[in-house]
């Protein structure tokens, strides 16, 4: 598997080219993937962060043929780049729309067309169908390239790491439900917002569900050992298998697991502490 190099176009098949933004890091892996779809009129999925080098790379890759810009969600590493790209190309901007700002959102995102679950963008030579997948973000959409059965998953599924669920907009119950839903889709592969294309997508979805289920059992076990407990009390018990350097990020997903358990009647919250119900 070839390394992903930011700024270098990588052709994935006859219809799809990947250009990765120069924003590598713990949360973004090699960087945010932008996908260019089509052969004549083009659609571009996830223009990434505001970045002059990435804008230039996208502009070079699409030339004068870009007609549509689609965003999977409005986190700051996925949608802000749309504004400059739209201004330069005149392409139509599509997405679910903005959500209440939690400090992680592109609050200025304003699509020309708001998409909902099942909406189809007919691009002539190809069709992209929106699949609403809330959980990582309440406005998260995946896009299915129907004739190739290729699903562009944004941050719903990432290659090489698990997705962070950050309350209040992130929701663990919704995330698991959205994963389950993918098992009913006829998919050949998924193209994630970070990392390489994932083959055998249903196996990957089942792996992710099993991982989250195992983590939830660790939350329940930790509450059984230490209750009532704060998030910081529980964090080293639940995430004893990851580097402490990741704990500040893992704390968000821990909070999401606890909210899920509370809403299911399995845990109780009192001020800053949690206990088994």
Residue 77 annotated in active site: yes
Please give the angle made by the CA atoms of 177, 181 and 106, to the nearest 5 degrees: 65
Picking from 24, 76, 21, 22, the residue whose alpha carbon sits closest to that of residue 44 is 21
Catalytic residue from among 77, 106, 169, 171:
77
Cα–Cα distance measured from residue 218 to residue 230, given in angstroms and rounded to the nearest whole number: 15
Q: Counting beta carbons within 10 angstroms of the beta carbon of residue 65, is it exposed (0 to 12), middle (13 to 18) or buried (19 or more)? A: middle
Q: 95 - beta bridge partners? A: 114
Instruction: Determine contact, residues 76/105, Cβ cutoff 8 Å.
Output: yes
Q: Counting beta carbons within 10 angstroms of the beta carbon of residue 234, is it exposed (0 to 12), middle (13 to 18) or buried (19 or more)? A: buried
Annotated active-site positions, please?
77
């Amino acid at each position: 598997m070839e390394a992903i190099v930011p700024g270098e176009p990588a052709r994935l098949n006859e219809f799809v080219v990947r250009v990765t933004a120069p924003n590598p890091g713990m949360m973004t892996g090699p960087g945010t993937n932008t996908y260019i779809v089509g052969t004549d009129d083009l659609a571009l999925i996830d223009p990434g962060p505001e970045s002059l080098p990435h804008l230039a790379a996208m502009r070079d890759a699409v030339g004068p043929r870009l007609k549509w810009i689609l965003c999977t969600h409005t986190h700051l590493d996925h949608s802000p780049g749309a504004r400059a790209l739209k201004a330069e190309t005149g392409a139509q901007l599509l997405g679910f729309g903005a959500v209440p700002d939690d400090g992680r959102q592109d609050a200025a995102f304003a699509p020309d067309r708001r998409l909902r679950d099942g909406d189809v963008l007919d691009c002539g030579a190809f069709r992209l169908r929106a699949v609403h997948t809330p959980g990582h973000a309440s406005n998260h959409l995946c896009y299915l390239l129907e004739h190739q059965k290729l699903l562009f998953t944004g941050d719903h599924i990432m290659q090489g790491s698990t997705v962070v669920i950050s309350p209040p907009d992130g929701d663990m119950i919704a995330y698991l439900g959205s994963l389950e839903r993918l098992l009913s889709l006829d998919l050949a592969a998924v193209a994630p917002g970070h990392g390489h294309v994932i083959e055998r997508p249903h196996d990957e979805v089942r792996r992710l569900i099993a991982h989250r289920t195992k983590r939830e059992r660790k939350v329940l076990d930790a509450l059984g050992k230490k209750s009532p407990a704060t998030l910081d009390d529980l964090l080293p018990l639940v995430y004893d298998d990851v580097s402490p350097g990741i704990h500040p990020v893992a704390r968000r997903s821990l909070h999401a697991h606890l909210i899920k358990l509370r809403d299911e009647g399995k845990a109780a919250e009192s001020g800053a502490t949690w206990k088994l119900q």
